[in-house]
Structure 1
Amino acid sequence: MGIEENVSVGAGPRARGKRALVVGLGVSGIATALRLRSAGWEPVIVERAAGRRTGGYFVGVFGAGQAAARRLGILDAIPDRSPADSADFVVTRGGDRRSGLGFTDFPGEPRVMLRGDVEQGAFAALPGDVEIRFSTTPVRIEQDVSGVDVTLERAGASATERFDLVVGADGLRSTVRRLVFGPHERFLHRLGYMIAAFMLPHPIGGMAGHEGAMLLEPGRSLLVLPFADHAPTAFFSYRTADVDTQFTGRPIDRLRAAYAPRPYGQLLGDALDAFEATDDYLFDTAEQVRMDAWSKGRVVLVGDAAWCATVYSGMGVSAGLAGADLLGTMLQRHGDAVLPALRAWEDHLRPHIASYQRTGIKQISLFTPTSRRQLAGRRVFELVDRLPVVGAAIRRRLTNSEDNLEKERDIAFVA
């Protein structure tokens, strides 16, 4: 989650045609620009940060995302860092550990990687004539039937430009959404959890590099997620009755308080110390974005800005890729008819996103059990899973469940 130095992209002749402003240089924004460019549009990307972010945290790209990445031409450029000999353990504060179920033990066939791997793969595929402006944000958006006037601000100076389409791919607290659709409070739905994620400098808690670890307690958890060829990442998740208070003071102080008062033990203590030593982390509340419509006129939202399902769904990157791919397909099909294209895009995509959001709620307990009863149920499941006949039957049932099939379904394919 570092930042590359500010570079200018845009050398070479530029295609002249319909202009699209893409706000945000994350997975959804880069993928959208890539797909629009292949559909004959002239995308211009603006990014608030001074440079492109790198690194990131653990993500899984499921079948829906892999299919979209293949059509975007970037699947081979995003690595699968799943450790071939991985072993996952449930660890206590006292240092006891037992075999447990890790991310890749559950149904589905995700590619495991860092979020930055996907961004890098998509970024590398952008044609050289795609213009990218860093340290730039929209401050005013007005539209009429034929286009959108956007006032962009950089270093205190502003200028207004006209576009045929504006795509807000600027994340959970989207500026485009706020300017066009309304304040964040109308669309953000808090789940009562805080999350923190960051890259570890090396394995911690006495774990080997290929070993994953889970510290699971009612209402709070720590996951250490391994990779084949990279240091692991850590993920904290805990319940809170007062989200706003969590943003006062230093994040490390909030984390230490959330996991107090018992002695931390080696794994948790190492993770907290590593968090305190880095300035490259995610610390935020778990919230879903719920909207009745993802577009208004010629302005459309893609990715977390439109439908954030939370990290608990595991589908953030996959949904961003699929949504971007499908948007380009619908615009290509409808030619200059932008509004019908946006309606067709949303009609096709919305049922799948609704499923991801439901999964995001259901799977909270997989990351952070809320009670001792849920912890006991997880323990029973782990024991039963090892039984040859019964375990295989349970896995078949989970593999064929609608939630899992939805993750693997190629939702952006339109015959």
Structure 2
Amino acid sequence: MIIERAPARRLGGYFVALFGAGRLAAERLGLLDHMHDRKSLQQGVDIDRSGKQRPGLNYADLPGQPWLLLRSDVEQAAFTALPDDVEIRYATVPTAIEQDADGVDVTLLNKVTGISTTERFDLVVGADGLRSTVRSLVFGPHEKFVHRMGYMIAAYEYAGTPSGLAPGVGATFLEPNRSMWVYAFADHDPTILLTYRTDDVDAERSRPAIESVRAAFGERAPEVLADVLDNLEASDNAIFDSAEQVKMDTWHQGRVVLLGDSAWCVTLYAGMGVSAAIAGADLLGTMLEQRPDDLEGVLTDWEQGLRPYTTFYQTNAYEDRGFFVADNWLQILLRRALPTLGKTRLGRRLIDKMFHVEGVITYKSADILDEVLGGSRHHHEEPQVVHRPRHSAA
């Protein structure tokens, strides 16, 4: 049974990346055949405050050859691959979770009818996001686990093509502590990301999103940014939130286990949210199939095997953040030089060194199931976290 708080399938969605670790797991789960890389092959542009455009980087230019998708692509693939006998209850939320040695009793509230029922399960998997209801009911309040990074995020789907850009052309607007990204696709309208630094998350949230975002980006916006801001104000699918990570000492308690953002949210700066969630689900399902009578052992071993990867993604998100929103003009000038540097062999080597390609690819492209269960990686081994210089752009 799947419990979904939304009244129906959520078909919209922001840009997401699918790295090798996620694609390998998605293939095993029967999802990959229902997804495709939407990457645009057109050169991206970087825009300054005056409106001048120069060659820029797209997210697809990052090491690891990520697929560029929409969240709805992943949802559609999962829905298509779902067995026919799985029941989905929409507009339903858990209000109480109690467990004993033999099972879990979950009180479920239908938000439309107001009717509560209690169901008993062998295992409850909480995959309900950053502010997980399952986590708060079983593990404690959000404040114990959610850690703010000090940045705000506004994201939405843009209908059509932003003013000043050609179809399929991605764009960035970069200034210290704030940036705009237009994620262009080959076969879909673009999505937008606006992100900026703040010292007061609560104050940013207290105002309408457009007021906070306009104040953060200032006046005299170039044509593309001005249009993006106007469309944010008119959007009915915008997300406005702070960048936050979830850090927990354990992801399971008895017969309740957390998965994805509810357990280890890495933030979009890591680019590994979807990949880590799919890989985590693939590993958990495989281990449960192999050892159906050893639930506690499976959950313990699953967490021990997976945690080194999520720890790496979380730690590197703090420096990956600099690729999305730079701290100073030096970082931005270095970013602007990358398209030119990438045309030469020496330049590509320098870029690989800046991005610490070997370390990043080891974790973002890993076949996690094979490494955890195949013995090529010891369960107790901790990841070698890559520390980049402050001016790096990944």
TM-score by length of 2: 0.91
Specify which of 198, 201, 206 is matched with residue 164 of structure 2: 206
Matched, 1:96 2:96: no
Gaps of 5+ in 1: 1-43
User: What do the CA deviations read for 1:107-157 (whole angstroms, capped 9, x no partner)?
Assistant: 111111111101101111111110000111111111111111111111322
Q: 1:395: Cα distance to partner? A: 4.5
Instruction: Assess if the C-alpha contact under 8 Å between 1:399 and 1:405 holds in 2.
Output: no
Sort the Cα spacing of 1:263 and 1:133 in 2 relative to 1 into closer, same or farther, 3 A: same
2:71 counterpart of 1:119: no
Query: 1:408: Cα distance to partner?
Result: 0.6
- Determine whether 1:184 maps to 2:152: no
Letter in 2 for 1:318: S
Give the Cα–Cα distance (whole angstroms) in 2 for the partners of residues 355 and 205 of structure 1: 38
Separation in 2 of the partners of 1:346 and 1:225?
Answer: 33
Is the 2:46–2:336 contact (alpha carbons within 8 Å) kept by the matching residues of 1? no
1:124 counterpart letter in structure 2: T
Counterpart contact for 2:341–2:348, Cα < 8 Å: no
Are 2:264 and 1:303 equivalent residues in the alignment? Answer: no
**Distance change in 2, residues 1:400/1:251 (3 Å):** closer
Q: How does 1:25-104 map onto structure 2 within 5 Å?
A: 44-84=1-41, 86-104=42-60
User: Contact 2:109–2:117 at 8 Å: present in 1 too?
Assistant: yes
- What are the superposed Cα offsets for residues 27-76 of structure 1, whole Å, 9 maximum, x if unpaired? xxxxxxxxxxxxxxxxx100111011012011110000000000001101
Q: 2:155: which partner in 1? A: 197
Q: 1:10-41 CA distances to partner (integer Å, 9 max, x unpaired)?
A: xxxxxxxxxxxxxxxxxxxxxxxxxxxxxxxx
**Which residue of the partner structure matches residue 341 of structure 1?**
298
Offset of residue 394 of structure 1: 2.6
Partners of 1:254 and 1:353 lie apart in 2 by 31
Find out whether 1:250 has 2:216 as its counterpart: no
What per-residue deviation string (whole Å, max 9, x for no partner) do you get for residues 263-296 of structure 1? 1121111001111111112111100000000000
The answer on 1:140 being equivalent to 2:83 is no
Matched, 1:391 2:347: yes
Separation of aligned partners in 2, 1:412 and 1:182: 30
Counterparts of 2:337 and 2:273, CA distance in 1: 29
Give the residue type in structure 2 aligned to 1:79.
H
TM-score by length of 1: 0.87
Q: Secondary structure at the match of 1:311?
A: coil
Counterpart residue type for residue 58 of structure 1: F
Take 1:400 and 1:96, find their aligned partners in 2: how far apart are those partners? 31
User: For residues 291 and 321 of structure 1, what CA distance do their matches in structure 2 show?
Assistant: 19
Aligned residues: 369
Aligned twin of 2:380: none
Q: Distance in 2 between matches of 1:408 and 1:273?
A: 38
The one-letter code of the counterpart of 1:264 is A
Match of residue 290, structure 1, among 241, 247, 255: 247
The Cα shift of 1:246 comes to 1.3
Distance in 1 (CA, whole Å) between partners of 2:76 and 2:317 is: 26
Report the AA paired with residue 109 of structure 1. Answer: Q
Deviation of 1:203 after TM superposition, in Å, equals 1.1
The answer as to whether partners of 2:60 and 2:67 remain within 8 angstroms in 1 is no
Is 1:268 aligned to 2:225, yes or no?
yes
CA-based RMSD: 1.3
Residue matched to 1:131: 87
Matched residue type, 1:394: L
From 314, 334, 344, the equivalent of 1:357 is 314
Identity %: 50
In the other structure, the counterpart of 1:9 is: none
Structure 1 position 376, deviation (Å) = 2.6
Displacement of 1:344 in angstroms is 0.9
User: Equivalent residue for 1:408?
Assistant: 365
Partner residue, 1:106? 62
Moved more, 235-244 or 373-382: 373-382
Amino acid at match of 1:348: G
Residue in structure 2 matched with residue 161 of structure 1 by the alignment? 119
1:1-16 equivalences under 5 Å are none
- Distance in structure 2 (CA, Å) of the matches to 1:164 and 1:106: 42
Match of 2:385 in 1: none
Secondary structure of 1:50's aligned partner: coil
Structure 1 residue 392, shift from structure 2 partner? 2.7
